[in-house]
Chains A and B, each alone.
Chain A
Amino acid sequence: MLGFLLQRVLQAAAVIVVMSILVFIGVYAIGNPIDVMIDPGADQALREALIKRYGFDQSLIVQYGYFAKSILTGDFGESFIYRLPVLSLIWSRFPATFELALSAMVIATCVGIPLGIWAGYRPDSIAAKAIMAFSTLGFSVPTFWIGLLLIMVFAVELGLLPSGGRGEVGSILGIPTSLATLDGLSHMILPAINLSLFKMGLLIRLTRAGMQEVMGSDYVRFARAQGLPERQVIGLHVLKNISIPIVTVFGLEFGATLAFAVVTETIFNWPGMGKLIIDSITTLDRPVMVAYLILVVLLFVLINLAVDLTYGKLDPRIRTKGAA
């Protein structure tokens, strides 16, 4: 187990180093931030002082050296636009994205898994076909378009829910969140549903496929032959065996949801990290872009690691195979 753990951690570290180099080159080798940063009316002396201050006069390798060193000390630099330390800027937007992604995942799981189980349990019923049609719609129709329809129906036509913004922000355990106030919750409903539909479609398919495979297996037949009640067969034997792919997807998709929130946040004007990255791309705010990308890569690597380790816990066969 220790060897497996060590191997995975080393792999994760290597991935982060490689990605940081790629992100750095990608972002710094293209475009010229000096023009964006410095007022064209500034005189030559001021211009040069600023170039020196941001280190643009150094070679790329030297710039990467500084960059890697400051990242290791947790310093991602200052936003060109907001004039704030990037890390605290991103961190201040994080709760908004996190609560949105979490609500979306909860909705997707609570609705998607039961629907998937039903669709796999009675695959020929009309309900199962309706569920599958819904799941096809859920992950083939672009998220932004569904968001638009939600706004049109619930905000413009029916006037039931707000069309955007985060609403009144309360606080739970000292963390600012829209989940704490009624107004905040009403602002949360549409974006959370919007973000959840893709995951829901995926979870329905995955659960259904798992159900169908497991339902035909010998141990389910034996469990039934033993005279176990159907509830126990499904709840104990079937669910346990379809849990592995679901845990994987849940883990991987949570990271993806945080990143995918970009689209939903733009439509619903949700002040999270996704909106920040879109703004930083359009304004060429490099420190924010770089820090966001590095943090996303870090997040994905950590989630992958966690999923790998959970796998090992759920299925001992993978552990021995992976360590070999």
Chain B
Amino acid sequence: MSAVPLLEGEGWRQRLSAFWDDYRQNWVAVAALIVIVTALGLAFLAPLIAPQNPYDQSALDLFDARLPPGEVGSGGYTHILGTDSAGRDLFSAILYGLRVSFLIGLMAGAVAFCFGATIGLLAAYYGGRTEAIIMRIVDLQLSLPAILLALVLVALLGQGLMQLVAALVTAQYAYFARTTHGAASAERRKDYIEAAMSTPLPAYRVLFKHLLPNALPPLIVVATVQVANAIALEATLSFLGLGLPLTTPSLGSLISNGFQYLLSGRYWISIYPGIALMVVVVAINLVGDQVRTILNPRRSK
């Protein structure tokens, strides 16, 4: 990290390639990145890859229910990961489930990022009483566990994709607000912000063009981890039966659906979606760890 404040458009290319040179030093992090890109590719190309559309109820056949991995079903193709209790091909369901999980994770992460960063910036910019009240609320929310907040909100708002995203955002924006506030209030005292504020530039321009870019590095780290957390949280809510219905299976609802068969030895119905979930969440966290190491200002070069 250079100590010189960043100007608009200055050297993004060089910074990015320097970042990548640092990033690839850790082969675990590179592998994790490859895993994420592959999973994203599989998830968004699911309709082309999956042998079956798991949303299409008419394509499901109850004769195919709970086939172990490797059996050939009535569709004439091999169910490489077996089928669930409704006769869904698990491989297809996992691909579509990944899609739902990524979509929710990215959406919740992006909205929480925008909302939280704006609130944190405003608090740091205006200071005084505004700052005190905003940060007090944020701190209070941070002391409550995210799962509890999300649980209550889903209970109040009802089930559905948008409700779920709203619950996740409410449970997570506080992390962004706290991080932005911390980084921005450190920048706020520096001369270049004082200089920008003494010019007749509108407040939003100082906030988003000058303050935000320099508060960005820690935010990127939080964003990575929060996407993983949103995916895990959604899966947990779905597992508890408060997320998406099984007609739009996310990884969490697939696992939940298979849980009852676990005790009778039909492990594949919940274990394979679980492995997909675990691999994705851990990979995102590993990438986040490496990004944090690189962006840590105290790191010796």
Contacts and interface: CB of A to CB of B under 8 A. Distances in A.
* Chain A bound to chain B: yes
Interface string B146-166: 011001100111000000000
A142 B274 CA distance: 9
A296 B274 CA distance: 30
Contacts of A255: 143
Given A136-B282, A140-B232, A266-B240, A148 B145 contact: no
Contacts of A293: 152
A20 interface: no
B131 interface: no
Interface stretch (A79-87, A92-100, A236-244, A257-265): A257-265
Contacts of B281: 140-142
Interface string A139-150: 011111100110
Given A140-B232, A142-B235, A156 B263 contact: yes
Interface string A207-221: 000000000000000
B101 to A, nearest CB: 11
Contacts of A31: 156
Nearest to B288: A140
B140 A262 contact: no
Contacts of A262: 147-148, 151, 240
Interface residues of B, number: 36
A151 B274 CA distance: 14
Question: Which of A142, A144, A266, A296 has the most chain B CB within a 10 Å cutoff?
Answer: A142
B150 to A, nearest CB: 11
A256 B239 CA distance: 20
Contacts of A260: 145, 147-148
Contacts of B270: 148
B262 A151 contact: yes
Contacts of A143: 236
Contacts of A137: 282
Given A152-B267, A156-B263, A296-B148, A142 B277 contact: yes
Contact of B274 (A145, A163, A300): A145
A140 B271 contact: no
A140 B143 contact: no
Nearest to A280: B155
A145 B143 contact: no
A152 B145 contact: no
Contact of A278 (B145, B240, B265, B284): B240
A148 B151 CA distance: 20
Listed residue (A31, A145, A260, A266) with the most chain B CB atoms within 10 angstroms of its CB: A145
Q: Which of B140, B228, B281, B285 has the most CB of A within 10 A?
A: B140
A144 B239 contact: yes
B274 A148 contact: yes
B217 interface: no
| In the A-B complex, the 6 residue pairs with the closest CB atoms | A140-B285, A281-B155, A142-B232, A256-B145, A259-B148, A144-B239
Interface of B: 140, 143-145, 147-148, 151-152, 155-157, 228, 232, 235-236, 239-242, 255, 259, 262-263, 265, 267, 270-271, 274, 277-278, 281-282, 284-286, 289
Interface of A: 15, 26-27, 30-31, 136-137, 140-145, 148-149, 151-152, 155-156, 163, 252, 255-256, 259-260, 262-263, 266-267, 277-278, 281-282, 289, 293, 296-297, 300, 304
Given A140-B284, A148-B270, A255-B143, 16 more contacts: A31-B156, A140-B282, A140-B285, A141-B278, A142-B236, A142-B278, A144-B236, A145-B235, A148-B255, A151-B262, A156-B262, A259-B148, A263-B236, A263-B239, A278-B242, A281-B242
